[in-house]
Amino acid sequence: MVLKKRLEYGFSGCSVPVIPRGPRSVRKRGSHKKTLEDSRSCAFELLAAVAGKLLQESESSTSSNVAEGLHPSSIHNGGIKQEQLEKGEALKSECRDQGSWVESVFSSELAPRKRNLESSFGEFPRAVSDTVLEGTSVIPRSKISTKVRHDLKLEIPENKTAAENSPGKVEGGSPNCGDIGRQIKAEGNPNHNVDLTVAINSNSKDPMEIHVNITDSLINSDTSVQLPSYGDSVPNASFPRHKNNVKLRGRVDDENPVGCNVYRSKTRAIRPQTCIGHRRVRKLLASKYWKVAPTLEDCEFSDSDGCMKNVNRCRKAPSTSEVIQCLVPLKKRKLCNHNSTLARDPEGSSESISNSPEKGVKGEKTSPAKNLGRAKVVSSSVVGHQTSLKSRDSHVKFSIKSFKVPELCIDIPENATVGSLKGTVMEAVTAILQGGLRVGVVVHGKKVKDDNKTLLQMGISHNDDLGTLSFTLEAGSRIASQPPNRKEVPILLTCETHHQFSRSAAMESEVLNASFDPSPANNVVNHVETNHELVPSTHEVIKDGTAPDSRALVAVPAVSVEALAVVPVNQKTRRCELVQRRTRRPFSVSEVEALVEAVEKLGTGRCANIRIVIICLLWRDVKLSAFENTDHRTYVDLKDKWKTLVHTATISPHQRRGETVPQDLLDRVLSAHGYWSHHQHKLHGKHLINLL
DNA sequence: CTTAGGG
DNA sequence: CCCTAAG
């Protein structure tokens, strides 16, 4: 936005066409469809130049630069014209023509989405700068997929200690990281580097997938192994960083929340302009900072205030998290918010879900005091229950369905054989998966460091809510044996319930199926009701009450080897599917009445005497006096409701559905609407006259 | 953040 | 209700 405005007003020396602005609706429809076919020529070069500039600037600047877009001066220096910048498509195809890495930046693996040019202004050059920086100006490219699968099942007696609960075993052998390095080195060709991206994904449907992007690096003379996320944590001895043409580079994938935000009840997070290219870009950008990624040791992701905050705090490049935060689509962040809210409640246990401000047990936000009281009640009831059941079944059962591993990047000579490529990939994957992992246990968002505590002592029992339990996979013994202040490679594995994907960096897990004892009926049912949209299967299971005793919790956690401390994992659609829509809360007649009354008083819209936001307040006041707890009615809701009310009032009664609004109310709606719209027009007319 | 309007 | 461009 900033950029665009600046451009519109032009830079001396550049002929900058000003895009005429039509009415909002017109602009909205057509603004992005323009194409400038003749501006393709040197966009890439120009952008690269700009990137260089920007890169220099970015060295010392903060992320705000990124958020705000490319600095005008950079543009000016780069000689970029607006039309070129606006030609998102042109840029893309340009890049594709060159077969460069940039293509992967701009072409999405997902379905193409609407591009937002304005945001691309700000981000594209950044991406290029990354590319330039990395020296991976590339030529050929290919993709490889392989599959791996991991299935773990755990059954742990409750009286086992946390340490015992963390067997630290992940199936498979364990060549260490150093082996990868050497292996690839052996096959390396000093003349060419192939940028090989390995993405390992797995979920319930797809076993682990490994995508490999091979790109021939022309520029990259830096032959060191780069494992940004490992950073310095990997001892050089075992993972040579020099004189090796293997390059492992972390990358962030699309569709991945980066972290959790602190929940702000009334704050809607900045929404990113959705553009796959941008995401790619952002992620590349973010990846730059992985090199300074903190470790789990440094910041506990599930920690009280939400992982994003922690990531934020820990990262040496403070800008990244801000950037990333902006990159995370709101939906996902909402999820994170939800989670962090949950995680924040230290004693919530099974009740913590319900303490989400957006969704209480009654589906409404409740006061802290109320929450507190309720939580206490619930937890005590849980305790009572678990003691009564203790003798019957003292095992906590759950299984970890699979791990998920994010993308990796590997450089390999282009003249390497396919066989060696396979071997290389295999080495990399196995090394990553098996490099001696350490399991951490996180209960109620806090990492349990005392290995001698029993599960029961930690509140982990077979009939407890396992949603508060999660695991982390951390670097294996080799790295773990480092001095504490050394950075650790937190390979995170989580085992969480749906509502608890505190998606710190690389955490990833999913409950495929969960069943509980039907006994704590009230508690569980409440829990379910408030979350049934999120976890339908759980809902059914619990409602049936037919759940087996075992309370098996099957989770699909992820091993993120890479993104580890900072960044998100590859999580495509499924997480999106889980995005929670607010529960539908039809307006009651009394609410409608209150709304009508408020609108009658205050009017609607911009030109009314008082802005509708005041209506919101008034509305809330009215509601509070009547029913309490109406924070879930935002001004947007009220606006929408008013919209539908007007519509309802307009249509014939037999066409109306849902709760029937009394006709007299509808009449009032119509009259108020007519009055205010008339008033608005009058005011608008006056305004026009004044202008003339 | 708010407004407005489409989905 | 959600989303998001525009202000």
- Condensed to tens digits (0 to 9), the pLDDT of residues A169-189 reads 333 333 333 332 222 233 333
More confident of the two residues A193 and A599: A599
Lowest model confidence (mean pLDDT) among A466-470, A499-503, A579-583: A499-503
Q: Which nucleotide is nearest to A587 (CA to C1')?
A: C1
Spatial distance from the CA of A170 to the C1' of B7 (Å): 46
Instruction: Report if CB A422 to strand C is under 7 Å.
Output: no
Q: Residue A436: its pLDDT value, please?
A: 64
Nearest residue for C7, CA–C1'? A24
pLDDT of residue A323: 35
Which of the two residues, A586 and A378, has the higher pLDDT score?
A586
- Nearest nucleotide to A271 by CA–C1' distance? C4
Q: What is the pLDDT of residue A56?
A: 54
CA distance A270 to A252: 20
How many other CB atoms are there within 10 angstroms of residue A584's CB atom? 7
Nearest Cα to Cα of residue A385 among A465, A499, A497, A498: A465
Section A550-571 average pLDDT: 33
Cβ of A33 near strand C (distance < 7 A) = no
The answer to whether A644 CB sits below 7 Å from nucleic acid chain C is: yes
Q: How far apart are CA A277 and CA A257, in angstroms?
A: 16
Query: With 50 as the cut, is the pLDDT of residue A472 above it?
Result: yes
For residue A369, the model assigns a pLDDT of 31
Average pLDDT estimate for A315-323: 34
Q: Is the CB of A27 under 7 A from strand C?
A: yes
How far are the Cα atoms of A9, A509, A588, A607, A645 from residue A24, in angstroms, in the given order? 20, 43, 33, 16, 24
Q: Among A10-19, A108-117, A638-647, which range has the highest average pLDDT?
A: A638-647
Model pLDDT for residues A226-276, shown as the tens digit of each residue: 333 333 333 333 333 333 333 333 333 333 333 333 333 333 333 333 333
The pLDDT tens digits of the residues spanning A664-689 come to: 888 888 888 887 777 655 544 544 44
pTM of the model: 0.28
Average pLDDT score over chain A? 44
Q: Six-digit token pair at A3?
A: 């950029």
- Scanning every strand, the nucleotide with its C1' closest to A329's CA turns out to be C3
Mean pLDDT of all residues in A427-455 = 71
Q: Give the mean model confidence (pLDDT) for residues A505-529.
A: 30
Q: A325-361, pLDDT tens digit by residue?
A: 333 333 333 333 333 333 333 333 322 222 333 333 2
pLDDT at A452 over 60: yes
Nearest nucleotide to the CA of A334, by C1', is C2
In this complex, which residue's CA is closest to the C1' atom of nucleotide B5? A25
**Three-state SS sequence of A243-311:** CCCCCCCCCCCCCCCCCCCCCCCCCCCCCCCCCHHHHHHHHHHHHHHHHHCCCCCCCCCCCCCCHHHHH
The Å distance, CA of A573 to C1' of B7, is 20
From the CA of A119 to the C1' of B7: give the distance in Å: 22
CB A607 under 7 Å to nucleic chain B: yes
Comparing A427 with A229, which gets the higher pLDDT?
A: A427
d(CA A47, CA A42): 8
Residue A603, pLDDT above cutoff 60: yes
pLDDT at res. A463: 63
CA-based nearest residue to A296, from A493, A489, A485: A489
> For strand C, is any atom closer than 7 Å to the CB of A5?
no
* pLDDT at A651 (0 to 100): 85
Greater model confidence, A355 or A471:
A471
Residue of higher predicted confidence among A7 and A648? A648
Distance A513 CA to B5 C1' (A): 40
By the 8 A CB rule, do A67 and A322 touch?
A: yes
Strand C positions within 7 A of protein Cβ atoms: 1-7
User: What percentage of residues in chain A have a pLDDT greater than 70?
Assistant: 15
Residues A290-301 have pLDDT tens digits of 323 333 333 333
Residue nearest to nucleotide C5 (CA to C1'): A28
> How many percent of chain A have pLDDT more than 90?
0
Nucleotide nearest to A268 (CA to C1'): B1
Residue–nucleotide distance: A25 CA to B5 C1' (Å): 8
